[in-house]
Structure 1
Amino acid sequence: MAKIIGGITTSHIPAIGRAISLNIEETPYWKPFFDGYPPIRKWLGEKKPDVVVLFYNDHGLEFFLNKKPTFSIGVAPQYISADEGWGIATIPPVTGETELSWHICNTLVEDEFDITICQEMKVDHGLTVPLQLMWPGNTYGHIKVIPVCINCEQHPMPSLKRCFNLGRSIAKAIESFDKDLNVVVFGTGGLSHQLDGQRAGFINKPFDLMCMDKIVNQPEELFQYSVRDLVEQAGAQGPELNMWMGMRGVLSGKVTELHRNYHIPISNTGAGTMLLENN
């Protein structure tokens, strides 16, 4: 049967992809951020996952404000990173995993989640930057990826509890899949940041660190925060914590934290990185 081996959290801001493209990871501005990833890369090299279930949000590339599903999942054999206008060189396509993807979709519908199933799907930095961070040199082609996209742009947005429960249902699907696969789960985005308006540049480090503490073995305590609370406490883009909660829902009740890193500011963002091993 398929096995869930762990979860990883990471920022996915497009400036990271540009830093990689320009080869400036060792400059003073970027080095404290990129220094958080070698331990995770080492773990991935040892565990050799077959599949990544990747929670992310689309930034107006595949889904714009006129059509914004709450939850959508890709079932395509391949995903192309479309041009976002950041001056970043084209990177290789992402390999999909169709069989497990369809199994997850069937399970979610049975569990009464209304999802949008995408047999074709353009992806942006929300999905590609995490892969570039984990497999330097764009060496992610051997990994099969299942994109799980959560609406974090257009109100109304799902609650932290709903996203956590989405993860629980995905876990049920993975653990009932009758192939021997090692699956790792990525929760991307965040943490606190606001990119526009009167509070542009807002970062709430105490709130970020509290969320990182709770996500380990007390994720249910975060259910108390509504989407409005997240906007107030973590900025307009703070609801990206939903992707972390989706990831955490896929893991078992107790996990072991193997590594974490937190650095601010990176492109006006509180960037948190964690490695959680499933028990």
Structure 2
Amino acid sequence: MARITASVYTSHVPAIGAAIDLGKTHEPYWQPLFKGYEFSKQWLKDNPPDVIFLVYNDHATAFSLEMIPTFAIGCAAQFQPADEGWGPRPVPVVQGHPELAAHITQSVIQDDFDLTIVNKMDVDHGLTVPLSLMCGQPEGPEPAWPCPVIPFAVNVVQYPVPSGRRCYELGKAIRKAVESFDENLNVQIWGTGGMTHQLQGPRAGLINREWDNAWLDKLIADPAAAAATPHIDYVREAGSEGIELVMWLIARGAMDDAQAGATAADTPTVRHRFYHVPASNTAVGHLILENPQP
């Protein structure tokens, strides 16, 4: 059967993608940030997944105010990098995994989570920046990401957005779906977005280091408590765009210790933790959790 072996959490700041694409990663401003992902890139090479289930939010690229799915799963064979107004990022086409995506869709919908099935979708920086941070920029005559990716888009742009509890429970349903897939696959689930930032209004540029790190502590040690964080707390403490953190709870809900009947032996290992300010006007958080070996 397929198995979720690890979860990865990272911010997906668009300016990070621009810094990579324009060759600015060694500049003094950006160097400390990219140094925080050096371990992660080596870890991914040492622990290569067969499939990545990547939770992110679309930034008015594939979806608009005309149609806003709460949860949308990409079931296509491939996904083109989106043009967000200055041309697509110079990164490879994202190869999907239609068989696993269709299976997850069937299982999760039967578990009473309403998903929107998407068979054609361009993917923006919310998905491609985490891939660049973890994989580096693929090179060669036919550059490619190291494995197929299933995009899973969550509405955190237009209220009402899903609660942290709903996202956490959805992660459990995704975990159940993966484990019922009749193929021996190593699956990683990634939650992206955040951390504290606000892009508009009197509090534009808000960064709350103390809250960010306390929330990371809670996500690691008491994810159910993190899932209980109300929307107003995200907005007040983490800024209007800090609500993106609910997407991390989907990945956390898929880990061993979040399942019914879990014991202390199911506690994940923190393989890496990183926090950095600033990256543009955003606090960057990053975490890798590994499930215990079977």
TM bracket, shorter-chain basis: over 0.9
- Aligned ranges 1:75-90 → 2 under 5 Å: 75-86=75-86, 89-90=89-90
Q: CA deviation at 1:22?
A: 1.3
**What runs of 5+ residues in structure 2 fail to find an aligned partner?**
258-266
Q: 1:170 to 1:14 in 2, by over 3 A?
A: same
- Aligned ranges 1:11-50 → 2 under 5 Å: 11-50=11-50
- The answer to whether the 8 Å contact 1:73/1:116 transfers is yes
Q: Which residue of 2 aligns with 1:182?
A: 186
1:238 and 2:242 aligned: yes
Question: Deviations 1:56-83 (Å, cap 9, x if unpaired)?
Answer: 0000001112211111100000000111
Q: CA deviation at 1:140?
A: 4.5
- The answer to whether the 8 Å contact 2:227/2:249 transfers is no
Q: Which residue of 2 aligns with 1:154?
A: 158
1:123 match: secondary structure? coil
Q: CA deviation at 1:217?
A: 2.5
Question: Deviations 1:53-108 (Å, cap 9, x if unpaired)?
Answer: 00000000011122111111000000001111246643220000000000100011
Q: Of 158, 161, 167, which aligns to 1:163?
A: 167
Q: Of 265, 275, 278, which aligns to 2:288?
A: 275
- Aligned amino acid, residue 215 of structure 1: L
Q: Which residue of 2 aligns with 1:115?
A: 115
- Aligned amino acid, residue 273 of structure 1: H
Supply the distance in 1 between the matched residues of 2:269 and 2:89 (Cα, whole angstroms).
37
- Alignment RMSD, CA only? 1.2
- Aligned amino acid, residue 155 of structure 1: Y
Q: Of 213, 216, 224, which aligns to 1:209?
A: 213
1:177 match: secondary structure? coil
Q: Which residue of 2 aligns with 1:264?
A: 277
- The answer to whether the 8 Å contact 1:217/1:255 transfers is no
Supply the distance in 1 between the matched residues of 2:163 and 2:105 (Cα, whole angstroms).
20
Q: Which residue of 1 aligns with 2:94?
A: 94
Supply the distance in 2 between the matched residues of 1:177 and 1:159 (Cα, whole angstroms).
27
Question: Deviations 1:31-66 (Å, cap 9, x if unpaired)?
Answer: 111111111111111111110000000000011122
Q: CA deviation at 1:223?
A: 2.9
Supply the distance in 1 between the matched residues of 2:87 and 2:10 (Cα, whole angstroms).
22
- Aligned amino acid, residue 34 of structure 1: F
Identity of counterpart residues, as a percentage? 47
TM-score (norm 2): 0.92
Q: 1:86 to 1:61 in 2, by over 3 A?
A: same
1:274 match: secondary structure? strand
Question: Deviations 1:178-200 (Å, cap 9, x if unpaired)?
Answer: 11111111111100000111110
1:112 match: secondary structure? coil
1:65 and 2:65 aligned: yes
Q: CA deviation at 1:142?
A: 3.5
- Aligned amino acid, residue 275 of structure 2: Y
Count, aligned residues: 279
